[in-house]
Structure 1
Amino acid sequence: MQIDRQTLVFFIVMFIFLSLPSSEDEPHSTKEKEALEKFEKSLTSQHHEMMNSTYESGYGKVDGFLLSYQDSLQNKNISDWPFHHFDKDKFPWEEDEKYSILPNVVSDRIKSFWGINSSKTDESSYLLNITGSCKGSFEKRPYNKDIRPLNVPLPAYLQDYATEYTGYRRGRDSYDDDGNPKDDRGADDSSSYIPEKVGNITFDTGKVSFAINNSPYNFRDPKLNKVNVSEEDRFDNVVVSYGSMYIRDEDDINENKIDMQGLYFQDTGSLFLSSLSAKFMSALAFPHLVMYKDLFANSQKLVDQYFSSNNFKKLYSVDSLYNLVSEATDKCEYVGYIQFQKTNFTKEQLREIDDELLFPSGIPITHDIPKLVVEDYLLYSPDCGIVLEKPKNTEFQGESVEVFRREGKLMLRGLFVLLFIQLILLIKEIKQIRTPGQLSNISSTTVSIFSLQDSLVALIFLLATTIFQSSYLSFVSVSVLAFFMSAVFEMRFLVNVLTNQQNERGISWWEILRGGSSNEEGAGGPTNNTTAPTETDTEAPPGTNTPGNPIVPPADVPGVPVTGFVESDEARISNGLFARTFFFTICTIFLIISAISWRQSYRRVFEITAFMLANSYWLPQFLRNTLKNRRRSFSWNFIIFTSMIRLTPIYYINFYKSNSFRHRQNDYLEVILVTSWVSVQVGLLYFQEALGARFWINDKWLPKAFDYHPILNVTDLESGFSSDILANIRELSESDGDSQQTGNGVVTCKVGCTICMNDIDLPVIVEVDPKLQGSLNAADKKKAQQYMIAPCHHIFHKECLEDWMKYKLQCPICRNPLPPV
């Protein structure tokens, strides 16, 4: 069988792709292989030494802990280790800067608040499950200036590997932005120079937050399935914790993330966390870093269990070694001591609450769920010489992940209800706006803003399902409802509006701003003395004819939508609309994701601006009403309730302290600006209905509205009107009995309505004296409101033509287009 070229190329590419080594494959160079073998051997040796050590014997040969704080100050050479020979009876190890990595000022500060108060079974207890997040502020105390960085070098066997890894990065960093070499530092001050690292905090105050994840008890943890946990080694008061620490300045310009792990002691509410890298194997020093001798044994056994599990065996890979070396060269090491506050619950009550939150059974929780409240904390970086502490009289608190999920579900239910109410309002409004005349008054921009908002909600909450899998159904429900409203109803409604308006020839705002003529609509028509009333005249009985006013516009007046479209136009509009909406939605999501990482001041400006633009939906409708000279397009129920529904999320994130978006609280400026802006738009729509669509602008700048109720004169009837009307007037003039001529020169004649086949009383001015034309009586003005004269000069009853125009904007006689009422 002969293989064509495309098939051969496909198989070659697939073979190369499948032949590529996986990330967990064997080392690809001799240096990598040697470094990995030595790393595994060293880690095994350190683990073995930790298990055979006692509290009095000290850290042992653990990377990062060979030099004490005082040894580093004395510039001792790490190759001369050990410097002290500890003995349980004669010379025991103790927590002192002579033997520990912690300066005395730091260790004394830790002992003053950390792990000093234990709770009993029948009294108020500390939180058992601290999985969640909490945030607060930090400050550097004055003694921070006296802390010196600890010499924490990489092990000798990793120096060559690290040099090869960091060679390109250091070479790149040795040049400035213009390509010029930076000033080299001499070898003398290289030890005192601290390169720019993640966690090297240079500002004195800022914000810090923790994202903590507790492991289950060791006898319940699936990670320890392959480790035989004996009865005596089961601990129900200490668990392993993992966390991420985020340190930011006040303006959120700089953010530093440090991944940490440690132990949480439930009896004292004390959490210890530490970073881990190739030069700082803190996990094997946990038993000593927890400060107290009575915590040593349990910590030692727990670390051994996790180190023996598959979790720590993953460190014996090229990827893990690469990451550990990267952490060692690019980040500051940190140890953290966090003391939580006692709750008002006993340990048994806390277990019941945790079990109900983790495995809901429907049992109501009668108590308020306790928050994560940090009473005090201290963060210390040995290699960067930094100490961060909690400022006095400040709050540092957060919520457990179960509470966050619970609040999130309540938020999703509330949002679902709001979307459902909005959908009901939209369906009712669409049912009322069905005719071409009504659709021509709707602003497509207003509907587009609604559709874009709802499509954003649909896509964002759909993406959130990949992150918050525990609330998958809630997120999907909101996403589907928002997508259903946007893609089915709003898009369909928008397609109808655009299809109805696609052939409009009216003047646009762009032409007005460019200085285009506002009276082009009367071009080409006769210029007899027929009344062309203003906006006020349209709503009230028309005034008398005055010389110089344009006559009724001809059939091809601007602003008349032509309804004779073909089906392909609707499909073309629909396809283009879906493509544009999807494109703008994706771009907006990328912009929002990018804005999350901006500094706080920039984010605030962006947020307020975005909310102002997103809530500008009534402004396009106000301008459309002005241009079309229509007092109202949407019902007031839809306007008021839609505004309230779309403002509710802004109130939620600003006024509800436990909002699921972790938004800053009480941004009154944002709430006032957005609410005022929406209120101004609604107020403008109200004034349009009360005072007229063009109350705020000079009528000369805009095209005049078509008047369906003019009072004709004899000269008008000579151009375009039926000759039967003139003949009827002559007959009335010759007959004294039927003539109803008034003193102001107006005669009423009978004209047939072709829709209902009944007569119309049509007042006609037969007096050519201009002085008499300005004195029409109330009866003639009232008669003018009972008929409608189309641009094609056909005359109908008002009720007849308005009912007809609900379905077709075409003359019933000649099929010429009609301006919407």
Structure 2
Amino acid sequence: MDANNEEPRDLENGTDRNPPRQSASIPSFLFITFALFLLTHGHGEDASLIRYQYTNGLHSLNHQLSNYSAWLNGTSSNFSLPVEDPNTMPLVQAFLGFGPELDPNQGSYYSNITGFWHGDLHFHNLTSLNASEAASPWRHLSEQFILPTNLSAVPELLGPWNWTRSNKLAVSVGDKLIPLERDGATHKNIAIIHGRLDLSDPESSDELRLDFEGIHVLSTGTIYAMAESGGRSMDMRHLPALVPERFRNDSAYAVESELKARIDKLKEKIDSGSFDQDPLEADDSPTTKCSFRFYAQLNATTIPKQSMDELEKEIDEPTGVTTVRAPEMALEGVLLSQSCGMLYEVKHTIGVQQAAHSNTAIGLSRVSRYTFLIQSLIDAISFIGHVTLGILAEGRSSLSALAPAGLACLLFVYEAQMAIYIGQIQAPEDAPAPAEPPRPPAAATNASQTPPDGNESVQAEGEQQNPNPAPPTPPAPTRPTNLQFLWTHIRTDPAARLWTLMSISLIVVFRIVMALSLPLFFISSLYSCIWLMQIYRSARRTRSSGLSAEYMLGTTLGRLFFVFYFLGCPKNILDVEPRRWIYVVGLFMFAQVFVILLQERLGPAFFLPKRFTRTQSYNYHPPMPLPDPEAPDQSLGDCAICMDAILVDPSLRRRSKSSESKERPVIGRAGGILEKVGGVKKTYSLAPCHHLFHTECLERWLAIKNICPQCRRPLPPL
């Protein structure tokens, strides 16, 4: 050891550093241990308590299920279905008309009511009717209904909530269909629903939350539910007592199935230790002790049942398939409490289904990206102009100019992202097809063959003297410069190309706004081209835009309001003199919208001469040879997506045989060619890459991606 008392170096481990001193790590270790102790102190006890309460809840559910199942099977059980007050349903029907079972060919109800609903409430105090209520035809029904009510206990049950001021209701519903097996068939008519009812006070902005469990009868569109304030338990085994007698048996078995599903879910949570929340914190004192019954009736629609099922399937899992227009989701209801002697009429309740509405590729392939790009540039100009005005102006006008500047900035970001997304979807449309790999030369494949004259020795000698030359060594790739790499990236990447174009446009916009040179001409040019690019794309691709009239008219009016204020109003904040030509720009924009609407009705290229309407659109349904009539499987082949056979309609086979000798040629042993006969040809689709699909399968695939699922080549619109 030298004079500096250096520690020996750790050369054995390959390091040339002094080892750390042990005395320095002890305080750090003690500090970390103390911190972990503070963070985890009491957590183990709480976790054990939570697990214990979850386990007790599981035992309770298992006990309820065993007794309930025994009651369903007719064996000895401690459970019995309660008897509802016979005066309940007559009072409910005085306010609510229950719907009948509809003819599936004439009408239907929504079967999945999952989502959020908002409606109005009208309060009735059944223990103290006013003059108009006392003269109503349901007065005697309410008197019979509240006979079991203990009026002296009502104030304590009501709690601090002001029931008379509640006039709005928000409903959050989860709907779960329970398939039932009966007589060898599966019946889907009963669904278990659960959620919450939020009553709001308009004066205090407070809310009273009621949790509910219920049964939804799909064939009648009727809801029967129990509701309690948060923290009060509900026994869902009592739900079958609420439904009519003809649905009671199916409802009872649906409740049993739901109990089993909840037990399995609770077991998984206990085994994995993933608990949602602390039961001690969730067990708060309820705001009210009133028990409620909730009855509701969905409005019937004139859409056939099959079309409604297709609509709801498309709402739940969007694929881009065209369906009927969605009717309004609406219901009427009654919320009443016998223990507290009150009734609410639930009116004008509108629902919005909670579904993932996403833009599909088949829809975005019709829209022009430049429509959103031009609008984003207009919003950029609006943002810069309002911010500049807010900075330079003095007084209250500066504050009023910043609000539209923020809105314009948000619109600019959204529209720019939308333009980029549309560009990514449409990028494969003009992409060249990948080149096929070169085939090996014929000499290489026949090198080992003997020449025709049989002179093998000469051939062998020639092979020794003239061996096959080695393939040339490819030159080493040169590293591109930064400018070359940047240019290649902008040229090949659609997103980079679009962002570069937008950046250059914004620089031009800044120069125009700041220098005030030709700003009006630039703005009017942008406004005049908003819908022109969409008209051009629809005519070029021979496909309609897919844009709704509401969107186009609303966007046009919103855009024109901005320029009409600055260029048409004589008293604007910039003191700009009115320009009469701005009204011509407005008329031109509405004319463009009118042309797009006509493209939906008359065709995308209705305004062009016939010689310009010859588009090279690909035909996915070309004539194809029919299979051998003696083959056991009458199919055109297997679908490259679902791998199922593409079968040929037997009626088409019979017709092709009768007309084969007259006008159709025979190809091989096919016995005919599959052409357009009664629209049957649309059951198959042949891609340009010669991969065969079911038309329905290909439509669903193109709703997600517009490339072939087999070879990944770009596909034209179907």
User: TM (normalized to structure 1)?
Assistant: 0.41
Structure number with greater Rg is 1
The TM-score, its normalising length taken from structure 2, stands at 0.45
